[in-house]
């Protein structure tokens, strides 16, 4: 039968593509985190610029402007994150002694150097997060354009980043068919866009190997609070339930697990939400501090790869 709906060209062992090898988390060699702690905690703060106008991306990322021009409500709500919210989140992180990475829109470097300097002073690991939130790597985007967005982003952020940037989180965790190659071509070491695992794993490109460090979408603050419309208390509960389950599983199976949290200052930096951030940090770093190794993404990748 020649109906393409019944033709299967990649029905075979393993994956139906060549990006990574198939394996189950529970079947891999055990991972040991420093100090023998069961759970690694990766906190990332996504620091984003949503342009007021310009070409609409092929896929709207979470938080995108939605109203006819000029969409003042969403533009300024997002800008609030970079003016006000982020300083609340930074204070919460610093008060808790938390280690967090920052994924930054490249265009923010020229727009808000004061914020860049403040972020640089935290010593956090920096990740490229696209040129801005309209620069979405999706669909049949022109590869030259995509290459330029990546290059421009890294060039804009490098002067502020405390260390050379090796990580990348695409806007909306979206990719084109070429994104992994372009990231490798720019010398990056890891991306966080494929949410198919809870530990770093090897990700193949035609330009050399990357690591994928999955940034959980299902526990992302925007996903829980604005996509699912869950309450702040439920969000906190979900993070705690996840941490407890992973600590238990890691202890039972004698292999480290990872919890990734992605925070958006324009959302959780609102005055009615910031206490939830403090509650989460306290539940993780104080109440479960003995079980949790809170570390930067590169440190987590290095520890996982030494398994």
Q: Which two tokens stand for residue 283?
A: 């539940």
Is 204 an interacting residue with respect to other proteins (CB under 8 A)? no
Is 87 an interacting residue with respect to other proteins (CB under 8 A)? no
SS3 state of residue 191: strand
> H or E element: which one contains 241?
helix 232-253
Q: Which of 79, 146, 193, 232 binds other proteins (CB under 8 A)?
A: 193
Is 75 an interacting residue with respect to other proteins (CB under 8 A)? no
Give dist(CA 33, CA 40) in Å, integer.
7
Is 239 an interacting residue with respect to other proteins (CB under 8 A)? yes
Q: Which of 53, 163, 227, 254 binds other proteins (CB under 8 A)?
A: 227
Is 219 an interacting residue with respect to other proteins (CB under 8 A)? yes
Give the number of other Cβ atoms within 10 Å of residue 148's Cβ.
14
In whole angstroms, how close is the CB of 194 to other proteins at the nearest point? 4
- Nearer to other proteins by C-beta: 21 or 73? 21
Is 110 an interacting residue with respect to other proteins (CB under 8 A)? no
Is 173 an interacting residue with respect to other proteins (CB under 8 A)? yes
- Nearer to other proteins by C-beta: 157 or 243? 243
Q: Which two tokens stand for residue 140?
A: 């049949």
Q: Which two tokens stand for residue 285?
A: 């770093």
Q: What are 168's strand-pairing partners? A: 128, 191
Give dist(CA 102, CA 112) in Å, integer.
15
Residue with tokens 């965790």: 173
Q: Which residues have CB under 8 Å from 21's CB, separation 6+?
A: 14, 15, 202
- Nearer to other proteins by C-beta: 138 or 295? 138
**What is the binding site for other proteins (CB under 8 A)?**
1, 3-8, 10-17, 22-27, 58-59, 138-140, 172-177, 193-198, 214, 217-219, 227-231, 234, 237-239, 241-246, 249, 259
């Amino acid at each position: 039968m020649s109906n393409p709906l019944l033709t299967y060209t990649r029905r075979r062992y393993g994956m139906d593509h060549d990006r990574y090898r198939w394996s189950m988390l529970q079947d891999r060699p055990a991972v040991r985190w420093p100090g023998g702690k069961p759970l690694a905690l990766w906190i990332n703060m996504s620091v984003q610029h949503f342009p007021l106008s310009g070409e609409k991306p092929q896929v709207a990322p979470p938080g995108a402007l939605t109203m006819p021009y000029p969409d003042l409500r969403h533009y300024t709500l997002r800008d609030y994150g970079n003016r006000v919210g982020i300083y609340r989140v930074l204070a919460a992180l610093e008060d808790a002694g938390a280690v967090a990475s920052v994924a930054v829109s490249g265009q923010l470097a020229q727009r808000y150097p004061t914020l860049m300097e403040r972020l640089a002073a935290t010593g956090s690991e920096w990740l490229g997060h696209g040129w801005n939130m309209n620069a979405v790597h999706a669909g049949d985007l022109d590869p030259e354009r995509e290459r330029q967005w990546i290059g421009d982003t890294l060039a804009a952020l490098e002067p502020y980043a405390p260390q050379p940037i090796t990580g990348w989180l695409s806007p909306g965790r979206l990719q084109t068919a070429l994104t992994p190659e372009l990231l490798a071509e720019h010398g990056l070491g890891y991306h966080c866009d494929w949410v198919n695992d809870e530990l770093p794993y090897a990700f193949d490109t035609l330009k050399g190997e990357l690591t994928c460090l999955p940034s959980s979408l299902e526990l992302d603050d925007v996903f829980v609070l604005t996509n699912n419309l869950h309450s702040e208390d439920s969000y906190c509960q979900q993070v705690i339930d996840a941490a407890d389950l992973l600590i238990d599983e890691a202890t039972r199976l004698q292999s480290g697990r990872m919890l990734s949290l992605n925070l958006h200052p324009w959302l959780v930096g609102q005055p009615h939400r910031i206490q939830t951030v403090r509650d989460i940090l306290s539940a993780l770093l104080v109440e479960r501090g003995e079980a949790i190794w809170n570390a930067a993404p590169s440190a987590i990748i290095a520890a996982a790869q030494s398994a």
